Copies of this chain bind each other. A is one copy, B any other.
Amino acid sequence: MARSTLSRTVPGELALIAAIRRQATFARSSEVRPGIGDDCAVLRPKPGHEVCVTTDFTLERVHFRREWHPPESVGHRCLARGLSDLAAMGAEPLGVFLSLALPARLPAAWPERFLDGFLALAGNHRVPLAGGDTAQSPSISKQHEGLIAADIVAVGQIPRGKALLRSGARPGDLIYVTGALGGAAAELAALAKNPRKFSKLTDAVPGHPHLYPEPRLAVGRRLRGLANAMIDVSDSLSTDLTHLCEESRVSALLEQAALPIHPLAAGSDDPLTLALNGGEDYELLFTAPAAARIPHVLAGVPIHRIGTVARPKRRQPPILMKTRDGRRVPITPGGWEHFQ
């Protein structure tokens, strides 16, 4: 861990370092020596395992707003993004690294509460916070303070050759998704309307898919050897299924009637759009051969079959959806809103 040369008085730096040190007893397992007090953390993957690495920004006004999101939610979501990427490979986490840039005048409670949310999720999944970096976010002018920026690095391990890639889908496969879709987008819309209603949600109680999404690590691991291809639904079903089709060079036929709509989305004006184009549900989207025995529930999470994989078709978008009235409509990658 290289500390920024300027960051001696950054609020939250000491909190971050203290948090890593607190975790050290737990983390100083056979697999991880945390990076605090050394230039690098040292991770020891099991013999015969490969290492998966993913990195994701969490930027104020892009991925969250300080006026809307409880700091615990920002910490939780920051880590959930990284863990969800590991889940989508079928990997188990070895350690995570947190880089955090904080404005000089940020009250100390913010990074402390951010870390509470971050570490609660890390503890649930027994993932050590193995290192990171801290810096002072530069102010733009006397009137304009800097913004909060975090970067999460998640490192996992998986038996050699067992990683579930996006490129493994084959024509004839069935398409599945975990949990339910559209809930995060529905909750975000409610949050934007009335942030005060959500300001006390400082614990990751279930049923808050935007504020406290649950990375599907256990499901991901149990799909090794069952699924052919996998991706997490971070952008949206329409966008992420397009990625999977492109990497696998296949097309997909969704069935509208089979899409699992999250209860929060079901009560909205347009549940289908939220399910198709809402982002950040962090469910797992995967394909498996028709002969594979995919349970209806895996690690306590419902699994829904939502379509089939077909050969790629010329002059046709990679995704069609069979509507309830039997038509086939093209599905294009859907947009997603931001917080600017």
Contacts and interface: CB of A to CB of B under 8 A. Distances in A.
Interface of A: 1-6, 35, 37-45, 47, 50-57, 59-63, 81, 84-86, 88-89, 91, 94-95, 97, 99, 101, 130-133, 135-141, 144, 146-147, 149, 151, 153-156, 158, 160, 163, 165-167, 230-232, 234-235, 243, 247, 279-280, 336, 338, 340
A186 to B, nearest CB: 16
Pick from A230, A232, A340 the residue with the most CB of B within 10 Å.
A340
Contacts of A6: 62, 336, 338, 340
B57 A40 contact: no
Contact of A247 (B38, B91, B155): B38
B51 A42 contact: yes
How many monomers of this protein are in the complex?
2
A62 B4 contact: yes
A57 B38 CA distance: 16
A45 B2 CA distance: 23
Nearest to A166: B38
B153 A147 contact: no
B131 A5 contact: no
A123 to B, nearest CB: 20
B247 A37 contact: yes
A156 to B, nearest CB: 7
Given A51-B43, A151-B133, A165 B56 contact: no
Nearest to A59: B135
A40 B61 contact: no
Given A39-B166, A40-B88, 5 more contacts: A40-B89, A53-B97, A53-B131, A56-B99, A59-B101
Contacts of A50: 42-44
A131 B56 CA distance: 10
B37 A167 contact: yes
A70 B238 CA distance: 40
A336 B5 contact: yes
Contact of A2 (B41, B53, B234): B234
A57 B133 contact: yes
A85 B40 contact: yes
Nearest to A41: B53
Contacts of A338: 5-6
A231 B263 CA distance: 54
Contact of A234 (B5, B60, B230, B279): B5
A119 B66 CA distance: 36
